[in-house]
Structure 1
Amino acid sequence: MQLYTVLHFSAAGWSLEYKSIEQCVDDATAPKLQYILVEKDVFSADTEPAPELVQSFQIPARLLADVYRRSNGFFSSAEAFDQNGHLQSCYTCFRVLVKMAARDASSSYTWHEMTFCSRWIAGRCTILCIGASSSFKELLQDAHKRLEAALPLAEPYSLHLPLVEAVIAMQDLSVWYVRDIVRSVEKDRSLPARGSKDFVMMHEGARHAIHSFETLSVTIETVEAMHQHIALLADKSKQASGIEPKTLLKVRMHMAFQARMLRNLLLRSQSNKERLQNEIALAYNMIAQRDSQVMTGLGEAARLDSGAMKTIAVVTMAFLPPTFLSAIFSMSFFNYTPEQTGTGWSVSSEFWVYWVCAVPLTCLTLAIWHWRQQRVQS
């Protein structure tokens, strides 16, 4: 027989015990208000939840499909009324995800995937908490200490309020962890140059901020769906008795306040995400500015090199005609010794051989250069 950690209410207050599911649900002497805490996330795991849990809390078969097990949150409810319109039973099932990132923006993080199934029958309420970690148990007990005096314990959603309060505390920690990452990035913005490690840190932080914003958004929709269901129960009760019970009104108002608190955290989460994107954009702009300065320096160096090459080209062009003339007149086609020939300065009749060889070779050289230029451009 499997035993579960049970947080139940008695005359001495809230206390922890270990009981079986039969002792929690089927035993007539069981406490009227209790939480069954299952630390392992049997809902998201490949294994099926225990049949006694599915049967006792009437978990719909559709919620056991993979699409719901992989979802980031949902809310489902079912209720039954007698012929006079009074509530006889109420079952709910909702899912919440919270991501806890490391404050140093490393790749380490922890996902808290929690699924809650409640069973309320004639004032007796039991909530199954699947995936409830030790930190969540502590937050839940702290929430009960704060809300115990103002908590109406007879309503179907009375035990939901401390649950939502603990979820708010976890989401608050998640948002502030991301905020610490953003703040560390903002403090280091004065660094002259950022390395690859700094960019990995910023992008890891951005990933955590996006997940935090996503899970918070879904959590708000889930809490607001519960608030709408409470309003539906209040309308049914008002139709049956002519007046809405003050305790149910109190629960509805408190959950509306919790939804507003989550929306405040959502704004801070959005601010974290935008601040981090702003820092990433600033870092890239600083790199672009630095690269622009480097390119400016390279352009100045290229300009100086171009001036030097221009000077060399001018000098080369200045000496090219004399070089050409000296090469021509140094050939044996010319005779500069008229005293030996008696005919004066003379040119050989074979001078055409020079032009026959030089002109085609020059044309061939220019053709090869032109072909290479066309090939480079294409």
Structure 2
Amino acid sequence: MAKAGCQKCSLIPVLQWKPANSNWDQRWVRGDEFHSNNSCQTIDAESPICIILASANETRACLACRNSLTRAFCIPEIWWSDYCRNSNGYLGSDITRQNGVVTGFSTWAYFEIKHLDAKMQYQWHKMNIFIRWLAPTKQTIILAFDTLSPVMERIPESLRNPDSNCLGDPFWVYARLASDVVDLQDSAVWAIRNQVRAIETQRMPIGKPQPDYRHIHDVARHAIHVTESLNVATECLEGILAQHDDFLSQKFPFQMIHADASEAVHRQLLFCKHMLSNLRHRSISNRERLQNEIQLAFNTVAQYDAGISVQIGRAAQLDGAAMRKVAFVTMMFLPATFISAVFSMSFFDFDADSGAWNISGKFWIYWVFAIPLTVATSLLWHFWHKLFPLTPMG
């Protein structure tokens, strides 16, 4: 719910470039003070560049500040939408006219860069800028939303000492900030590359391999994010180039653009676009190298487990051979054992004097108990395995 005023809103730092002393003049402004009496009262008309470091989330929550910024710098309502806030990158533009005369040109762009350090701690660097270029004065106003270090320091440093010939081209800001995007993306890609290289050069332990699948998965996850942000940044820069061409082709009557300066802006934008494309190829290569390492880890573990299975199979084969020998010896002695057990029963009587064998008439009792018990044991074994079948291990 929006607040009725901006008493609780933080003061917004405003940096204005002073050509006289070649330095930034900084002051603090309330969010609802940017627009009053149908004009912007906080921007010095003699300053060719103005940087406003605002908080987008805080401004969204304050209706007074939001309306003030929207009216002062012609921010479209679509920029405040939730899908723009949740997006991972975008580019837009708009031309404002008064009585059929072009009064300004607005562009807005958003870049995200994910940086990973050596300890696997990551940080998102965000460059969320809205650029308002005023046609009558060739003044450039940059609203940098939610900027944190190192982007906060990079923007004023990159826009220092502007070339007066380039100020007539509203895209000169992107030519400078695109270099910062390339630099940050380069650091992000090489941070992933260093992690991949560390995995590739890791020594295999003696004995059972123990890959750190969690670590490899985390590096792969960060690599996917870096590639995604590179794809979006490249598409945004391609859009900037296309809109720059369209802007130059319209030949607005207010334009006082130096052809050489405009060509230099375009060449720098084109170079940054190619650099991002090259970094995207390297980022894709990092992901493919990670997939190779993941596949190698799986294959190494599978090969080790297969070797262990072979050893277990050989041990089982030796145990089986030993059991066959035991079974053979048992079978050799089993008939003699059975015969000796039968003749040792009291059903048989050997008369040593006459040398004759006497068999008891009750010998049938042995068979009456032996045969049913054997059959019952066999049936019990059969039905036991039917009710409780053996399940293979693994």
Q: TM-score, normalised to structure 1's length?
A: 0.86
Is the 1:9–1:34 contact (alpha carbons within 8 Å) kept by the matching residues of 2?
Answer: no
Matched residue SS, 1:89: strand
Q: Distance in 2 between matches of 1:319 and 1:151?
A: 112
Deviation at 1:194, TM superposition (A): 5.1
Q: Distance in 1 between matches of 2:327 and 2:285?
A: 61
Match of 1:174 in 2: 188
Shift in alpha-carbon separation, 1:63–1:81, aligned structure 2, 3 A: closer
Shift in alpha-carbon separation, 1:270–1:299, aligned structure 2, 3 A: same
Match of 1:119 in 2: 132
> Which structure 1 segments of 5+ residues have no match?
none
After TM superposition, the structure 1 = structure 2 runs for residues 127-146 of structure 1, keeping only pairs within 5 Å, are: 127-144=142-159
Match of 2:5 in 1: none
Match of 1:346 in 2: 358
Is the 1:237–1:244 contact (alpha carbons within 8 Å) kept by the matching residues of 2?
Answer: no
After TM superposition, the structure 1 = structure 2 runs for residues 145-294 of structure 1, keeping only pairs within 5 Å, are: 148=162, 152-192=166-206, 195=210, 198-237=212-251, 245-294=259-308
Is the 1:4–1:37 contact (alpha carbons within 8 Å) kept by the matching residues of 2?
Answer: yes
Shift in alpha-carbon separation, 1:225–1:2, aligned structure 2, 3 A: same
Aligned-residue identity in percent: 31
Shift in alpha-carbon separation, 1:281–1:220, aligned structure 2, 3 A: same
Shift in alpha-carbon separation, 1:240–1:5, aligned structure 2, 3 A: closer
One-letter identity of the residue aligned with 2:381: W
Q: TM-score, normalised to structure 2's length?
A: 0.83
Matched residue SS, 1:153: coil
> Which structure 2 segments of 5+ residues have no match?
1-9
Shift in alpha-carbon separation, 1:46–1:289, aligned structure 2, 3 A: farther
Matched residue SS, 1:154: coil
Match of 1:34 in 2: 50
For residue 103 of structure 1, the aligned residue among 118, 121, 125 is: 118
Q: Distance in 1 between matches of 2:292 and 2:102?
A: 52
Aligned residue pairs total 368
Matched residue SS, 2:50: strand
Instruction: Name the structure with the higher helix share.
Output: 1
CA RMSD of aligned residues (A): 3.1
Is the 2:139–2:167 contact (alpha carbons within 8 Å) kept by the matching residues of 1?
Answer: no
Match of 1:356 in 2: 368
Is the 2:220–2:290 contact (alpha carbons within 8 Å) kept by the matching residues of 1?
Answer: yes
Shift in alpha-carbon separation, 1:293–1:257, aligned structure 2, 3 A: same
Q: Distance in 2 between matches of 1:109 and 1:45?
A: 27
Q: Distance in 2 between matches of 1:142 and 1:4?
A: 16
